[in-house]
Amino acid sequence: MDTLAKLQDWEELDAQLEDIVSAYYRTCHILERMITDSSSVDAAPLERRMGDRYTRFIRPLSHSFASIARSRNNLRTPLHRMPTEILGRIFEFVVDTDTRYMPMNVAIQTMYLSLHRLMGVCSVWRNVAQNHFPLWTLIPVVHFNTRSLSVTETWFSRSLERSGAISLRLAVSVGSLDINNLPIKEKLVSQAHRFRSINICASSLSTIESILKPILTAPAPKFLREISLCYEPPQGHSAQAPYYLFSSVTYPVLSAFEVALGFVGILRLKSVLPPPYSRCYSNLVELRLQDIRFGINTCFEQFLGTLSSATQLQSLDLISVLTSITHHHADDKRIMVRLPLLKHLYLENLDLNILESVFLTIEPGQYYTSLMMTQRCLLSVSLIGVIQDDLNRFRQVFKSSKIYTLLLKEHSPVFGPRRLHFILSCMPTVDTLSLDGQTLSHQCLLALTRPPNSSVPFPKLQTIYISRSIIDAIQDQAAFRNMLSSHPLQTLYLGGSFNMATAANNAEFLTDPGRCRVDIAGPDTWAILTRDWIKANIPNFTVWPHDVYGQLRSTEWELW
């Protein structure tokens, strides 16, 4: 009998069962009303039927309902017609999206919560998720408290069971905990040869080293493609020189580290560096340095010099790197580094000294440079009682570079208007400007406006991101529109609020600043008129909600 015929039989029986149950229900209630204390009916049949009702009714019906549920899950709907490999890839995408841009500890918990939810939908999804190896490649070791370690051991073991024989990703966040005392240490060592990527965050160098050592000395370190190391020194602990790993160990470990770096394609380092003599980065494609303090400029430049072996490098991020203040002199012997495949250079929270070292050490090329400017870069650029030599040096540093994206985030004290205009005039190659959490007063809008005289150095902006910002003013937008019109804009992302021009003269607004602002994305008539004008004059226009962050990178240590 084919499936359709059997389904028809089931539907008929289901209808009959419904009628029988209804009739049985009515009969039971009628019988209850008819039987009284004085009835002469024997109670034995009732007791016998009640005693075995679980075997006769409840259990078969429960099993039947479970069988129907499984049949429902197996129905060949469009989703279930998908090959399990495709459904598994969709699950990968969902889990990755859920954990993106989160701190590592939060991302690990969120990932396992997402997996738990996926497997709870139905038996088909559970089977696909359990048997899709890539969903279980993350091997977590997380320490929040004693209980979290037992949870980690469960996750650890489950991932090893369900990941098959494919390569693994290790994610460790343990503070200063000595991993040698953990029950999972033996499993960790036994699987060391399978790790494709390792991400370690700890507040003890010895902890990082104790995890790295068995992996680096495993028989097949060539599987390792990604190393992310985050050292979080104890609070109040400050050093004037870099923290180096394995600074007091024997040659075999150092040699193994050197070999591993030769295979690695992605290297992320926060507050710690590999052994100082490491110079083998032949397969490195992406490098991120964050919160690293070098001694003096020459130490930083010497490290950049080691990147001469990184001929495959495509992305270089330098975030909050520090050195002692040392000016360069014309007769200094320069270290020059050529990175022929570099596509993107990202610079954030660097002082003028570091920026000068970067621009003088890395040869110019076809790469795209983005700069997140903070107060650290602007210590000498106040424009009030400032020494002209400092302004000239600032201009000279950026003269030798080509900045294409300039980012200013919340609390970045770049404004007032004179300083903003000066900064932009020093970076005429900027074509993308990102402003987050800024107050764009009338004077600031004038400072952003491109001068009509084309001989004056000033950016020709093609893309602007404005997020969570306050703009003057909703009832007088000449300055805002003139600013936009002065640039050959192709793309504008806009989110935040407009100030109301009448707010300064209206006392009721003084106790409620929110009332003197109009949401750019809201239904206010002036906001609608503004959006309509922008749509008519800029080809690509997107409105953001007032609380959405713009194109800013997080400095949080992530799962990646």
Contact criterion met (CB below 8 Å) for 318 and 267? no
pLDDT of 283 higher than 90: yes
Q: Give the CA distances from residue 526 to residues 445, 470, 501, 547, in Å, rounded to whole numbers and listed in that order.
A: 19, 15, 12, 20
Going by pLDDT thresholds of 50, 70 and 90, the confidence category of residue 24 is confident
Which residues have C-beta within 8 Å of that of residue 90, sequence separation ≥ 6?
Answer: 82
Tell me if 435 is assigned to some domain: yes
In this prediction, residue 191 carries a pLDDT of 84
Please, which pLDDT band fits residue 148 given cuts at 50, 70 and 90?
low
pLDDT at 144: 64
Total tally of structural domains belonging to the chain: 1
The DSSP element (H or E) to which 230 belongs, if any, is strand 226-231
Q: What is the mean pLDDT of residues 501-521?
A: 57
pLDDT-wise least confident of 8-17, 397-406, 508-517: 508-517
Q: Is residue 62 one of the residues assigned to a domain? A: no
The angle formed by the CA atoms of residues 357, 438 and 289, to the nearest 5 degrees, is 30
What's the mean pLDDT in 228-236?
A: 86
Integer Cα distance of 517 and 499 in angstroms:
5
Q: Which of 368, 375, 244 minimizes the C-alpha distance to 316?
A: 368
SS3 content of the chain, % helix, strand, coil (to 5): 45, 15, 40
Residue 144 CA: distances (Å) to CA of 98, 111, 152, 184, 296: 21, 17, 10, 16, 37
Q: What band does 511 get if pLDDT is binned at 50, 70 and 90?
A: very low
Q: Is residue 518 situated within a structural domain? A: yes
Would you say residue 215 lies in a domain?
A: no
Question: In the prediction, which pLDDT does 44 show?
Answer: 76
**Do 294 and 269 touch, CB atoms closer than 8 A?**
no
Give whichever of 3-17, 185-199, 382-396, 459-473 has the largest mean pLDDT. 459-473
CA neighbours closer than 13 Å in the CB half-sphere of residue 249: 18
Q: What pLDDT score was predicted for residue 556?
A: 85
Looking at mean pLDDT, say which of 47-51, 59-63, 452-456 comes out highest: 59-63
Pairing of strands 286-290, 315-319: parallel
Cα four-point dihedral sign 423, 425, 430, 434:
positive
Instruction: Give CA–CA dist 92/86, Å, rounded.
Output: 10
Beta pairing class for 344-348 and 315-319: parallel
Q: Phi/psi zone of residue 506: left (φ > 0), alpha (ψ -120 to 50 degrees), beta?
A: beta
- Least Cα distance to 272 among 216, 227, 223 occurs for 227
Domain assignment of residue 435, given as a range: 409-551
- Could you write out the DSSP letters of every residue in 202-227? ES-HHHHHHHHHHHHTSS-GGG--EE
CA distances (Å), origin 139, targets 132, 194, 299, 359: 15, 11, 36, 40
Beta-carbon contacts of residue 544 (< 8 Å; ≥ 6 apart): 467, 493, 494, 495, 496, 521, 550
Residue 49 buriedness (CB in 10 A; 0-12 / 13-18 / 19+): exposed
**Is residue 263 domain-resident?**
no
The predicted structure's pLDDT at residue 448 = 95
β-strand partners of 471: 440, 498
Is 108 a domain residue? no
pLDDT of residue 363: 93
The C-alpha atoms of residue 142 and residue 148 are separated, in whole angstroms, by: 7
Report the distance separating Cα 257 and Cα 25, nearest Å: 76
**Phi, psi at 77, each rounded to 5°:** -75, 170
Instruction: Look at residue 447 and tell me if it is in a domain.
Output: yes
Class of residue 41 by CB neighbours under 10 A (exposed 0-12, middle 13-18, buried 19+): exposed
On whether residue 488 sits in a domain, the answer given is: yes
Q: For the chain, report the end-to-end CA distance as a whole number of angstroms.
A: 53
Question: How many residues make up the chain in this entry?
Answer: 560
- Using 50, 70 and 90 to split pLDDT, how confident is the model at 151? low
Minimum mean pLDDT range among 84-93, 96-105, 272-281, 507-516:
507-516
Other residues' Cβ atoms within 10 Å of the Cβ of residue 531: 16
CA distance 337 to 326: 20
In the prediction, which pLDDT does 512 show?
Answer: 46
Over the stretch 87-133, which tens digit does the pLDDT of each residue have?
A: 899 999 988 887 888 889 889 889 988 998 988 888 888 899 999 99
| Bridge partners (DSSP) listed for residue 370 | 346, 405
- Nearest to 162, CA basis, from 119, 219, 220: 119
Give this prediction's pTM.
0.81
